[in-house]
Structure 1
């Protein structure tokens, strides 16, 4: 039994903290069991409350178990952030999460900019320079979202590979 290793949460957390530097688009990394138990985590900014982390872990593991995909790209409704969820071992998942999206400011009268500029002026659509800028902003947001997704997928693949290698050298009770 001297060859049995347990998951070293300190080592696992240091691997995750190190992996945060791989891409500025990664805001958090989490390793969870399929039952939602948090085994290790790293956050770029302040660490959320344990309740928020549990909600994040439970939401992601539930989404993964419902999906029939090997790797799941998922947008959490509670945060709006994109996550890539990948298995690293039996019953262990890695979640790589990007930044929360920037919220568009609503106007004081409650109408969004697109609603305000879509009004008719003398029977002709009122197209302004701001509408053109808004369309460019939407296009930039789409390309930003695509870049974030690609970064998250790349970090997920690389980190999942590292974690799988580490777990492969461990002795499990079944191996005894």
Structure 2
């Protein structure tokens, strides 16, 4: 019985922490069961409350289950952050999540509070440039999430394949 290791969450969390620096566009990594149970996680910044993590896990696993895709690219409605959700074993998912999008400039008295928009006649071109930069940034984040998801899923699948399951005892 001492050889049985169903899931070493510390080892999985260590693998996630090691993978977090692979891209600056990754804000969190989470391994969860398809019932929403959190198995391992790593966050770039402050770790949220357990309630927030459970909400994140449940939301993403529910979205994955409903979509029934091999790999799901999911944008959270509450934060706007993009996640790539990938199965790594039966009933176990990996979620690679990017940063929340930057808040739009605030509007006061009908004008944007931004010095670069103060010039007359240039506001429209700055908005178009800003939109293009935002689209390119969004595309780069998604690409980074997908690349990290694929590579980390491969690493985690190898790790999980080494574990002994109850039916093998």
Using structure 2 for the length normalisation, give the TM-score.
0.92
Q: How many residues align?
A: 164
Aligned to 1:124: none
Structure 1 segments, 4+ long, off by >4 Å, are 110-113
Residues 92-139 of structure 1, C-alpha deviation per residue, up to 9 Å, x if partnerless?
0000000000010231236779xxx9xxxxxxxxx9211101100100
Residue 142 of structure 1 corresponds to which residue in structure 2? Answer: 135
Q: Gapped runs of 5+ residues in structure 1?
A: 118-126
Higher alpha-carbon deviation: 54-63 or 165-174: 165-174
Deviations 1:125-169 (A, max 9, x none): xx9211101100100000000000000000000000000001111
Equivalent residue number for residue 84 of structure 2: 84
Take 1:112 and 1:60, find their aligned partners in 2: how far apart are those partners?
Answer: 35
Query: Which structure: larger Rg?
Result: 1
In the alignment, structure 2 segments of 5+ residues that lack a partner are none
CA distance in 1 between partners of 2:83 and 2:136 (Å) = 17
State the shift of 1:171 in Å: 1.1
Are 2:157 and 1:164 aligned?
yes
Q: Which moved more, 1:102-111 or 1:10-19?
A: 102-111
**3-state SS of 2:107 partner:** coil
